[in-house]
Amino acid sequence: MSDSVTYKYKQKFSRTVPLTILLTLLAVIYQRGTGPTYPQRFSYQDSGQKVKIKLLRSHGGTTNAPITIPAFNDEKKSAKIFFKRFPTNDAWSEQAFSYDAANKQFITQLPNQPPAGKLQYYIVFTNNDKAENFGSVDNPIFIRFKGDVPLSILIPHIVFMFLAMLFSTLTGFEAVYKAKSVRKLIWYTVSTLFLGGLVLGPIVQKYAFGEYWAGIPFGWDLTDNKVLISAIFWAIALFMNFRRTNNRSMIIAAVILLLIYTIPHSTMGSQFNYDKNKVETAR
């Protein structure tokens, strides 16, 4: 490679790397803040100050799920939670909050459910004789329970999926510039996606919900199917670049993976069917 070509490539690479990192971080932030498992936010006014509330929509382990409402004090305040299993025809259960003065919060617990089991709930909070609803009968908050996933499995899974997104985006940009290093990058992308999504992903799913794979052909779990679609497109790209460079296939695979990351995490996830006493895919 001549000096002029090397210089031009370094200029392009210096642009693609920061842009790759930026897009990957934006995707991670988006995934962190969206989807049906992240806390649902509410607020209320207390003594002229805005108090922010985060209500759980996911809980791991065998313990009951703690539900808390921050409050400076319990003067002229009370709270009740109404909940039932989902999807069932159960009657709504009612439970009062107690006030934890040490931590300045109202607290109660929702009963633990089988892995992938869900409860729907809403809260009636009374503040100075004024009732405020966080959720409602018609628009309840859903919380999904799961088993404990060992950090020794969960952390590598997250790291490899992050690296897969990073390498995929970088490979796509380098393919646009027709860089010679792109055929090496494709191996990094496929390797991290395979380890994070197709090896560690099913193990995480097994610990959390008792199923190794709930995507096609066994179910419609969208998280599993997203990984599967990404892996198929990158496998095709790898095959098409085995003997000679095919930049278009890598660009398409990178765009597909980026678009897939815009779908909120855990959408259409596994769900426990209380009537059939087994885990199914939520539709």
pLDDT tens across 123-150, in order?
999 998 889 999 999 999 999 999 999 9
Task: With H, G, I as helix, E, B as strand and everything else as coil, classify residue 41.
Answer: strand
Which has more confidence, 220 or 103? 103
DSSP 111-169: PP-STT-EEEEEEEEEETTEEEEES-SSS-EEEEEE----HHHHHHHHHHHHHHHHHHH
Instruction: Kindly state whether residues 170 and 274 are assigned to the same domain.
Output: yes
Which of 114, 146, 178 delimits the end of a domain?
Answer: 146
Position 46 scores a pLDDT of 86
**Residue 50, by phi and psi: left (phi above 0), alpha (psi -120 to 50) or beta?**
beta
> What band does 173 get if pLDDT is binned at 50, 70 and 90?
confident
209 burial type by CB count under 10 A (0-12 exposed, 13-18 middle, 19+ buried): buried
Position 221 scores a pLDDT of 79
Residue 10 pLDDT > 70, yes or no? no
Instruction: Kindly state whether residues 240 and 274 are assigned to the same domain.
Output: yes
- Express as a percent the part of the chain with pLDDT over 70: 90
> What band does 14 get if pLDDT is binned at 50, 70 and 90?
low
Instruction: Kindly state whether residues 90 and 183 are assigned to the same domain.
Output: no
Instruction: Kindly state whether residues 160 and 273 are assigned to the same domain.
Output: yes
226 is in which domain, residue-wise? 3-33+149-281
Instruction: Kindly state whether residues 115 and 173 are assigned to the same domain.
Output: no
Which of 122, 146, 170 delimits the end of a domain?
Answer: 146
Closest to 193 (Cα-Cα) out of 224, 167, 213: 167
Instruction: Kindly state whether residues 127 and 54 are assigned to the same domain.
Output: yes
> What band does 33 get if pLDDT is binned at 50, 70 and 90?
low
pLDDT in tens, 67-103: 999 998 888 899 999 999 999 999 999 999 999 999 9
Distance (Å, whole) CA 70 – CA 97: 12
Q: pTM of the entire structure?
A: 0.80
Q: Give the strand pairing for 58-60 and 141-146.
A: parallel
Distance (Å, whole) CA 112 – CA 195: 32
Position 11 scores a pLDDT of 47
Residue 26 pLDDT > 90, yes or no? no
> What band does 265 get if pLDDT is binned at 50, 70 and 90?
low
Cβ-based neighbours of 219, under 8 Å, separated by 6 or more = 270, 280, 281
- 145, 154, 165, 224 from 188: Cα distances, Å: 34, 20, 11, 21
Instruction: Kindly state whether residues 125 and 244 are assigned to the same domain.
Output: no
Instruction: Kindly state whether residues 175 and 88 are assigned to the same domain.
Output: no
Give the DSSP letter of residue 90: P
Residue 42 pLDDT > 50, yes or no? yes
Instruction: Kindly state whether residues 22 and 87 are assigned to the same domain.
Output: no
Which of 146, 175, 198 delimits the end of a domain?
Answer: 146
Check which CATH number belongs to the domain holding 75 and give it. 2.60.40.10
User: Quick one: average pLDDT of 232-259?
Assistant: 92
Closest to 71 (Cα-Cα) out of 121, 119, 37, 106: 106
> What band does 7 get if pLDDT is binned at 50, 70 and 90?
very low
Closest to 118 (Cα-Cα) out of 274, 283, 276: 274
Instruction: Kindly state whether residues 118 and 235 are assigned to the same domain.
Output: no
User: Quick one: average pLDDT of 191-207?
Assistant: 95
Instruction: Kindly state whether residues 100 and 188 are assigned to the same domain.
Output: no
